[in-house]
Amino acid sequence: MRSILLVDDEPLIVEGMKSIIDWNANNMYIADTAHNGVDALAKLDGSPVDLVITDIMMPHMTGLELIREVKARNPFTKFIILSGYEEFNYVREGITLGVENYLLKPVNIDELEATIKHMQLDWEREEVRQIQMDQSWRILRNNVLQRWANETIDAKEFRERAQLLEIPMTKSSYCAAALRIVSDLDHDVNDLEFYEPKIAEQCEIIGSNQIPDGCEILCFPDQEGDIMVLFTSSGMGGEEWQYNALRSMKQWIATDTGACVWGVIGRPVQTYLGFPQSCNEVKLWLQNHLFVDSETFIVNTNSDAESGTFHEQQRELALDQFHKLLRDGESLQIDHFIDVSFNVQTEDSCLARTPFFNSAIQLMLAAKDLEKNPDYGGVFGPLSRIHTLSGLKQLVKRVIHQTHDTYHAIEKEYSPHVMVMLDFVKNHYKEELSLKTLSQKLDLHPNYLGQLFQQEEGTSFSDYVNQYRIERATHLLLYSDKKTAEVGAEVGYWDTSYFYRQFKKYAGVSPTELRAMYMKK
């Protein structure tokens, strides 16, 4: 509610103003009263109000003098002037000072209420402008913090921006942390990308509630959706306050989103120049680890650096046995094989990610090999969103069962012409392929041939060729050391940039991202 100070040297006028209208109904309340301008200034010292309603003629200090003094201290306060008689000079000076209205005594209730409604609209517009200014400031600060963490901002620009945005540069300790909101296939957080700046803003408020003197916390969302935290302090000693702050933020996010949240604290550094390195260590740790369960917890990249090393070795899979299970159509046995493949006996809360991702990709590709026209989008695209062992196992089962069901469905009967087209793609996918070329070989109109292929295969001829080429390219990228451009050329794409676009379209990830997911030991 908006606060009001009534100022008049006549007590009856003050009492009358208290009851002249229902202030509460107008979202306002009388905070205090004063009998002259000097008394009003004393009461406003340290306790500003939203509105001052003042008489213009008072002993010791006039209403206009009071307005000048208050405006110098608090420019956002609004004023209504009361007067027993109309005086043009007073009206003119009041307008110059920016008062809301000049009301004659006795006060007209309708005019007072109209003035109040006008002020309410002004306050609402000011609040919107302030929110917009705050949000613009925060968006700019988030952008600068992201670029600082990624080392993509010039040093001179950063120093200028940091001073403007109150980013600390003179502390003796800087430490990065990350809060990851887990949204595996079985943990969906709706519209989280629009929510992350608000989460970061609230985390900063919560984390800053109880911190030692000389310490600061800044929070911002990064491009991968993690909430990054900057801890700064004037001394190197004591990390307990960082754990407590991170724990409070983590618990609030978990309660607000209903998702699981993991916190990771990095290595402290002595100057702001080392903060990007601390960020990089935290992000690398998250990138290289897979979590065993969905409990929320906090880890330190230093003390837990060796966690999961026992499981770093490449996991061996009985792929021959798995191929037989796929061909035989034993769904329960396939599930059992997957469960055993990802079974881990460990008390660690996290494991090295690489061997489990490699095993998952091997199993999913083995199933995709059964398809005549495999679609890799459902294999590689979701992997970037997987953070838990259970989520990875769920993805593997989903992909394999979809492929398995398709493979054991009733086999399609292809016409001789379509069989020739499929066989031609298999043997000549490295060459330039088009319906026009094939129509000449089969002595059929290309439009008819395209419609026939679409009807029997369920996809266009060009899509089929691209998907087949991407399938061949995937195997070369995973099982050979050839450069990306060489792989593209070998499967029929001579333009490397076009190969990148097509691969991303059909596989869901770029060739570089694919190789990063599948790191051979």
Overall average pLDDT of the 433-452 stretch: 88
Look at the alpha carbons of 137, 138, 143, 149 in this order and tell me if their dihedral is positive or negative. Answer: positive
In angstroms, the CA 255 to CA 247 distance is: 12
Look at the alpha carbons of 11, 16, 22, 27 in this order and tell me if their dihedral is positive or negative. Answer: negative
**pLDDT above 70 covers what percent of the chain?**
87
In angstroms, the CA 242 to CA 317 distance is: 42
Mean pLDDT of the chain: 83
Higher pLDDT, 346 or 141: 141
Asked if pLDDT for residue 505 goes beyond 60, the answer is yes
Return the number of other C-beta atoms located less than 10 Å from residue 159's C-beta.
14
Helix, strand or coil, per DSSP, at residue 53: strand
In angstroms, the CA 83 to CA 104 distance is: 5
pLDDT in tens, 378-415: 777 777 778 888 888 888 888 888 877 766 554 456 78
Asked if pLDDT for residue 449 goes beyond 80, the answer is yes
pLDDT value of residue 439:
87
**Cβ atoms 268, 319 nearer than 8 A:** no
Beta bridge partners of 104: 83
Asked if pLDDT for residue 476 goes beyond 80, the answer is yes
Asked if pLDDT for residue 307 goes beyond 50, the answer is no
Overall average pLDDT of the 323-331 stretch: 76
The alpha carbons of the chain give a radius of gyration, in whole angstroms, of 35
Overall average pLDDT of the 48-60 stretch: 90
pLDDT value of residue 135:
76
pLDDT value of residue 176:
94
pLDDT value of residue 75:
86
pLDDT value of residue 186:
46
Domains of the chain in start order, with CATH, are 2-107 (3.40.50.2300), 143-281 (3.30.70), 311-407 (no CATH), 416-517 (1.10.10.60)
Question: Which residue in this structure is represented by tokens 């003119």?
Answer: 92
Q: Categorize the per-residue pLDDT at 258 as very low, low, confident or very high, splitting at 50, 70 and 90.
A: confident
Quickly list H helices, 151-183: 155-165
Around 490, how many Cα atoms within 13 Å sit in the side-chain half-sphere?
Answer: 15
Asked if pLDDT for residue 310 goes beyond 50, the answer is no
Q: Categorize the per-residue pLDDT at 520 as very low, low, confident or very high, splitting at 50, 70 and 90.
A: very low
Overall average pLDDT of the 501-514 stretch: 87
Tokens of 172: 């003796």
pLDDT in tens, 151-197: 999 999 999 989 888 899 999 999 999 998 876 554 444 445 557 88
Residue 115: phi, psi to the nearest 5? -65, -40
**Cβ atoms 514, 474 nearer than 8 A:** yes
pLDDT value of residue 112:
92
Overall average pLDDT of the 45-73 stretch: 89
pLDDT value of residue 455:
87
Q: Where are the beta strands (DSSP E) in 74-186?
A: 78-83, 101-104, 173-182
Overall average pLDDT of the 459-480 stretch: 88
Angle between helices 331-341 and 319-328 (to 10 degrees): 160
pLDDT in tens, 77-121: 999 988 877 666 776 777 778 888 888 888 899 999 999 999 998
Higher pLDDT, 52 or 85: 52
Q: What is the pTM of this model?
A: 0.58
Tokens of 42: 């004393």
Overall average pLDDT of the 492-503 stretch: 91
Asked if pLDDT for residue 311 goes beyond 50, the answer is no
**Cβ atoms 249, 203 nearer than 8 A:** yes
pLDDT value of residue 187:
46
